[in-house]
Chain A
Amino acid sequence: MFHATLPTLGGHGLQAAGPMEQFEILPLFELTAGGVDISFTNSALWMVIGVAATIAFFTMATGRRALIPGRLQSVAEILHEFVANLVRDTIGHDGKKFFPYVFTLFIFILVANFIGLIPSIPGSPHDLHTFTTTSHIIVTFALAMLTITIVLVYGFAKNGLKFLKLFAPSGLPIWLMPILVPIEVISFLSRPISLGVRLFANMLAGHIILKLFATFVIMLLGAPIAFKALALFPFLGAVAIFLLEFLVAGLQAYVFAILTCIYLSDAAHAADH
């Protein structure tokens, strides 16, 4: 993202990359398996980079295991404590076994969001520009479906058919059942969609706005001399949005993690009420 190509001040005027170009999926190696295109794309590349960076970070951070933690170890401990508290507060004592899943999910989304905020190396080829994997709905929706699948499997495994009490709260008058049960079912089915769409829409919108501000800077710099100074304003805007995007990147990873915890807690306690 944030790779406004420099204006070519030639005969045909200015050229800045369009705001949607940063989301293009470009194959790096062509691969097919049984007629299905499974090419290694730039999206896959940045996921691999994110996971590799995470593994490298935690290997280094937990390597020394000092009693008095160093800087890296402190960061790792803070992240661990943060997610552990989140899981314990939301799910309760059953929550411990979901800690690895929630932690992995949180770190993966956080790193993917932050990688998208790293500016590309100027002049690097388009298919190696930094890429926000979470700005594609198929990625976020796959993560959301994974969460809901775990909720369903765990809910039925733990509660048996009593899991269905989630859709019919006790104390409900019988004549309300035909109306309320479909509403509850639709509400449950809408969870993966709102979960996936929320993360995707936030990342997509943020990066488009950032790119538009950057394009305004380029356009104003190419304008007649009297307007050149105006380029300062969209530049300041781009800086402000960039800072806001840091907040959004962290916040959306947190929201995804806490909603996963809430849904898992529903599954864990479905038979209680």
Chain B
Amino acid sequence: MRVGSELLAGLFVGAILGLGLDTLFGTKPLWLLVGIFLGFAAGVLNVSRAFKASTGGSSENGQSPDGQG
């Protein structure tokens, strides 16, 4: 439940932001696609932080994006 909501929330915010930029500039699918990609990445980042916080680090949740290429 925790992982799913984190992943979906990232995707949702990315898509909404993309759609907002699209209606602002009138470039219909472009920013939506970019937003969905970035939103998915943000969702994965959320999930990895959630795991890091629950397994080991106390308050050091995901401040260093090491392991990301």
Chain A interfacial positions (CB closer than 8 Å to B): 89-92, 169, 171-172, 179-180, 182-184, 186-187, 189-191, 193-194, 197-198, 201-202, 255, 262, 265-266, 269, 273
Residues on the B chain within 8 Å of A265, using CB: 59
Residue contact B53 to A197, C-beta cutoff 8 Å: no
Interface CB pairs A-B, < 8 A, 30: A89-B59, A90-B59, A169-B63, A172-B65, A179-B38, A180-B68, A184-B42, A184-B45, A186-B14, A186-B17, A186-B35, A186-B41, A187-B43, A187-B45, A187-B46, A189-B13, A190-B9, A190-B12, A190-B13, A191-B9, A193-B9, A194-B6, A197-B8, A202-B1, A262-B53, A262-B59, A262-B61, A265-B59, A266-B61, A273-B64
Residue contact B5 to A198, C-beta cutoff 8 Å: yes
Residues on the A chain within 8 Å of B59, using CB: 89-92, 262, 265, 269
Residues on the B chain within 8 Å of A169, using CB: 63-65
Residues on the A chain within 8 Å of B13, using CB: 186, 189-190, 193
Residues on the B chain within 8 Å of A183, using CB: 38, 41-42, 45
Q: Complex formed: what's the CA distance from A76 to B59 in Å?
A: 27
Residues on the B chain within 8 Å of A189, using CB: 13, 17
Residues on the B chain within 8 Å of A197, using CB: 5, 8-9
Residue contact B12 to A182, C-beta cutoff 8 Å: no
Chain B interfacial positions (CB closer than 8 Å to A): 1-2, 5-6, 8-10, 12-14, 17, 35, 38-39, 41-43, 45-46, 53, 58-59, 61, 63-65, 68
Q: Complex formed: what's the CA distance from A172 to B68 in Å?
A: 11
User: Helix, strand, loop or mixed for chain A's interface?
Assistant: helix
Residue contact A190 to B38, C-beta cutoff 8 Å: no
Nearest-neighbor residue (CB-CB) of A166 within chain B: B63
Residues on the B chain within 8 Å of A186, using CB: 10, 13-14, 17, 35, 38-39, 41-42
Q: Name B1's contact: one of A182, A201, A262, A269 (CB within 8 Å).
A: A201
Residues on the A chain within 8 Å of B8, using CB: 194, 197
Q: Complex formed: what's the CA distance from A265 to B39 in Å?
A: 24
CB distance from A178 to the nearest CB of B (A): 11
CB distance from B2 to the nearest CB of A (A): 7
Nearest-neighbor residue (CB-CB) of A192 within chain B: B9
Q: Complex formed: what's the CA distance from A180 to B44 in Å?
A: 13
Nearest-neighbor residue (CB-CB) of A180 within chain B: B65
Most buried by B among A92, A190, A255: A190
CB distance from B65 to the nearest CB of A (A): 6
Q: Which 10 A-B residue pairings sit nearest by Cβ, starting from the closest?
A: A194-B9, A186-B42, A190-B9, A187-B42, A193-B9, A190-B13, A190-B10, A194-B5, A198-B5, A189-B13
